[in-house]
């Protein structure tokens, strides 16, 4: 009775998750999506037959159906049941984002699962033993065939039972193995190059400002081809900048992209950000501090989120301030209004006199649920309108910062490096919303500008692939300072054919790269690979992996070695 009831409940939960999703249906599809639920039912049935204490069986039943019910809205919103990394991120800091999904339809879905779970044990008849045995044999056979079905159907990870997903993401996907390689160097011949070496040392004597734009994807900006222009000040700055047309974050999450920018090292799969607290080697801030710069980082959010405090501690900043230090007129669970942070930054600049400064600014405008203290110019009937208004608000602060520098006579004595810390998705691929779960273009391709007012007087559009891990080497190159041996990134001024490498492990383990026109994604969980030609297919719809087996094998081997090496380096941190 209880196992059959559990099966019905899990099937209903899966149907509610998959409702209105589009998949390629074959004879294997139903089994591909349900076999892990059958596995949980089989394990529960075994427990139920062995344990002779009804309260124990009922307690486990209640836990399983309750967990399944809670995961329905989670999986619908994020295309993933709750995983260990997702649970770590679900702190009070993102309360506003969590509450956004507490809606009537989602509460009804949860209620439907719970009502069914309560009603079925009261109405279903108890099966005779012979039928139970037959049912268990059938379930066992289907569970055995389940992985075969999953290998033939692209489920996008939604085949996973919530319990299985949680357990699997608690286990390592990659074993650390030391490999010595120049990871950004492609094995394939380059088609074109752009030599920017004439700018080496051109920014000597300038102040340095680095701006990590929150959740800002390139695809939504005018400078990158969008019809709308939510960031007109950034568009104006692009006229006196090196603009990287194909720039990528290393991981679609703020904290790990911050590690890559500061230490010029790629993050590792299955590795918490706090692990990088004692990362050996210098950071950009520490190197600039040794070169005589004042250093400060100002964050409109909260350092306590996902280990940011540990990552920034003792890494070269003389001043570190977040929302709690700054205070603000408008507060959310994630942080404060950007005007308050701007005032604090300008006051910090004024307090330094004539000494050169390095300022890092980390706004939160752009973060879900895209709430701003002032109204924007875009209609907010859809979430994308709210997002564009959040970008517009962030852009307004950039314009105010530029004006503050200009009024102080500092603008043409300052180098600004402005980029998105990661992208943001709005269903460009089925079920892809937010930023952390996938590594499609909307998740990881970001704007990237090196702005030098008075020095760069005409726009320079750089077509070569660029990564956020290249930021610190590029700044040092512009200042004619040496690149440390520990840096894995390369200066974008080098005339060199680089690849961008990236990963995410929030849900499925995904590793990928961009190599000129080619985009490659490998799923560590399923073993599946996808290859896209972004020149002919910029929205990543046509998988060409079967047509280019040699390229696929080369990329897969490279990424597996890279991810193993980064895991080894992370494990070796004291």
What's the pLDDT tens digit per position in 487-532? Answer: 999 999 998 889 999 999 999 999 999 999 999 999 999 999 999 9
pLDDT value of position 331: 72
Is residue 187 domain-resident?
Answer: no
Judge whether 374 lies within some domain.
Answer: yes
pLDDT average, residue stretch 77-89: 91
Does position 365 have pLDDT exceeding 90, yes or no?
Answer: yes
Of residues 132 and 69, the one with the higher pLDDT is: 69
Q: Which of 70, 67, 68, 48 is nearest to 4 (CA)?
A: 48
Same domain assignment for residues 225 and 108: no
Q: Is residue 365 part of a domain?
A: yes
pLDDT at 307: 86
> Do 382 and 522 have their domain in common?
yes
Last residue of a domain, one of 127, 150, 169: 169
* pLDDT-wise least confident of 85-94, 287-296, 550-559: 85-94
Q: Is residue 184, in this structure, part of any structural domain at all?
A: no
Q: Is the pLDDT of residue 117 over 70?
A: yes
Identify whether residues 156 and 276 lie together within a single domain. Answer: no
Average pLDDT over residues 74-100: 87
Average pLDDT, the chain: 93
- In a shared domain, residues 378 and 507: yes
> Is-contact 506 297, C-beta < 8 A?
no
Residues 288 and 377 occupy one common structural domain: yes
Which residue, 154, 169, 184, sits at the end of a domain? 169
HSE-up of 548 (CA within 13 Å, CB side)?
A: 17
Helices 471-478 and 254-263: crossing angle, nearest 10°? 40
pTM of the model: 0.94
The answer to whether residues 444 and 549 belong to one domain is yes
Residues 358 and 498 in one domain: yes
Using the CB atoms, write b or e for 193-226: b if 16+ within 10 Å.
eeebeebbebbeebbbbbbbbbbbbbbbbebbee
The CA-based dihedral angle spanning residues 20, 22, 24, 27, taken in that order and rounded to the nearest 10 degrees:
-10
Cα angle vertex 500, ends 460, 252, to 5°?
105
Q: Would you state the pLDDT for residue 104?
A: 95
Same domain, 266 and 230: yes
Domain's final residue, options 150, 169, 188: 169
Q: Residue 523: which of 150, 178, 264 has the closest Cα?
A: 150
Structural domain contains residue 174: no
Do residues 149 and 209 both lie within one domain? no
Does 326 reside within a domain? yes
What pLDDT, on a 0 to 100 scale, did the predictor assign at position 193?
73
| Confidence at 262, pLDDT banded by 50, 70, 90 | very high
**C-alpha to C-alpha distance for 545 and 132, rounded to whole angstroms:** 45
Asked if 116 and 540 count as a contact pair (C-beta separation under 8 A), the reply is no
Q: How many CA atoms lie within 13 A of 524 on its CB side?
A: 26
- Split at pLDDT 50, 70, 90, the class of 54 is confident
**How would you label 485-514 residue by residue, b for 16+ Cβ within 10 Å and e otherwise?**
eebbbbbbbbebbbbbbbbbbbbbbbbbbb
d(CA 422, CA 257): 8
Q: What is the mean pLDDT of residues 111-138?
A: 82
The pLDDT value given to residue 491? 97
Question: Do 432 and 520 fall into the same domain?
Answer: yes
Give the pLDDT band of residue 449 (cuts 50, 70, 90). very high
* Token duo for residue 225: 């081809």
Per-residue confidence (pLDDT) for residue 554, from 0 to 100: 98
Across 58-62, 188-192, 362-366, 561-565, least confident range: 188-192
Same domain, 205 and 148: no
List alpha helices for 51-128, DSSP H.
54-78, 84-89, 95-100, 104-123
Number of H helices, E strands in the chain: 18, 15
178 lies in some domain: no
Structural domain count, the chain? 2
CATH at 302: 3.40.720.10
Is 90 exceeded by the pLDDT of residue 334? Answer: no
Range(s) of the domain holding residue 73: 2-169
Is residue 204 situated within a structural domain? yes
Q: Is 530 helix (H, G, I), strand (E, B) or coil?
A: strand
Residues 116 and 215 in one domain: no
**CB burial class (10 A; 0-12, 13-18, 19+) of residue 556?**
middle
């Amino acid at each position: 009775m209880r196992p059959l009831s559990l099966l019905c409940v899990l099937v209903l939960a899966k149907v509610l998750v998959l409702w209105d999703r589009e998949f390629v249906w074959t004879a294997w599809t139903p089994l591909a999506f349900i076999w892990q639920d059958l596995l949980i039912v089989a394990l529960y049935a075994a427990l139920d037959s062995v344990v002779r204490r009804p309260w124990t069986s009922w307690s486990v039943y209640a836990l399983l159906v309750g967990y399944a019910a809670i995961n329905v809205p989670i999986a619908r919103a994020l295309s993933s049941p709750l995983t260990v990394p997702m649970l770590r991120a679900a702190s009070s800091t993102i309360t506003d984002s969590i509450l956004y999904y507490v809606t009537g339809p989602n509460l009804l879905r949860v209620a439907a699962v719970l009502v069914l779970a309560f009603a079925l044990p009261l109405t279903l008849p108890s099966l005779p033993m012979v039928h139970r045995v037959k049912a268990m044999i059938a379930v066992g056979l289907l569970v055995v065939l389940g992985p075969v079905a999953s290998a033939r159907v692209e489920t996008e990870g939604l085949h996973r039972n919530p319990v299985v997903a949680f357990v699997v993401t608690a286990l390592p996907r990659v074993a650390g193995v030391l490999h010595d390689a120049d990871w950004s160097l492609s094995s394939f011949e380059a088609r074109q190059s752009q030599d920017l070496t004439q700018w080496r040392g051109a920014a000597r004597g300038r102040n340095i400002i680095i701006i990590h734009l929150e959740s800002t994807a390139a695809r939504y900006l005018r400078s990158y081809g969008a019809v709308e222009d939510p960031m007109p000040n950034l568009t104006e700055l692009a006229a006196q900048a090196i603009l990287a047309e194909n720039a990528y974050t290393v991981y679609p999450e703020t904290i790990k992209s911050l590690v890559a920018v500061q230490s010029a090292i790629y993050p590792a799969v299955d590795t918490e950000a706090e692990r990088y607290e004692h990362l050996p080697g210098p950071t950009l801030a520490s190197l600039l501090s040794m070169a005589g710069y004042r250093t400060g980082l100002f964050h409109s959010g909260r350092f306590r989120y996902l280990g940011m405090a540990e990552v920034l501690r003792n890494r070269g900043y003389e001043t570190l301030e977040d929302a709690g230090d700054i205070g603000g007129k408008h507060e959310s669970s994630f942080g404060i209004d950007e005007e308050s942070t701007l005032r604090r930054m300008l006051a910090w600049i004024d307090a330094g006199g004539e000494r050169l400064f390095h300022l890092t600014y980390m706004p939160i405008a752009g973060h879900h649920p895209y709430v701003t203290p002032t109204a924007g110019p875009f209609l907010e009937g859809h979430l994308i309108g709210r997002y564009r208004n959040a970008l517009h608000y962030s852009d307004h602060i950039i314009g105010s910062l530029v004006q503050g520098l200009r009024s102080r006579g500092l603008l043409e004595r300052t180098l600004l490096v402005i980029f998105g810390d990661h992208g943001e998705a709005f269903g460009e691929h089925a079920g892809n919303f937010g930023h952390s779960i996938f590594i499609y273009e909307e998740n990881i391709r970001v704007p990237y500008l090196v702005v030098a007012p008075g020095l760069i007087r005409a726009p320079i559009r750089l077509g070569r692939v660029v990564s956020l891990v290249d930021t610190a080497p590029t700044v040092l190159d512009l200042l004619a300072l040496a690149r440390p041996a520990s840096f894995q990134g390369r200066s974008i001024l080098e005339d060199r054919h680089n690849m961008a490498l990236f990963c995410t492990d929030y849900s499925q383990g995904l590793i990928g790269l961009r190599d000129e026109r080619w985009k490659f994604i490998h799923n560590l969980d399923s073993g599946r690979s996808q290859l896209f030609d972004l020149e002919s297919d910029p929205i990543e719809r046509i998988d060409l992996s079967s047509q280019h087996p040699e390229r696929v094998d080369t990329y897969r081997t490279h990424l597996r070695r890279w991810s193993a090496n980064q895991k080894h380096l992370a494990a070796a941190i004291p």
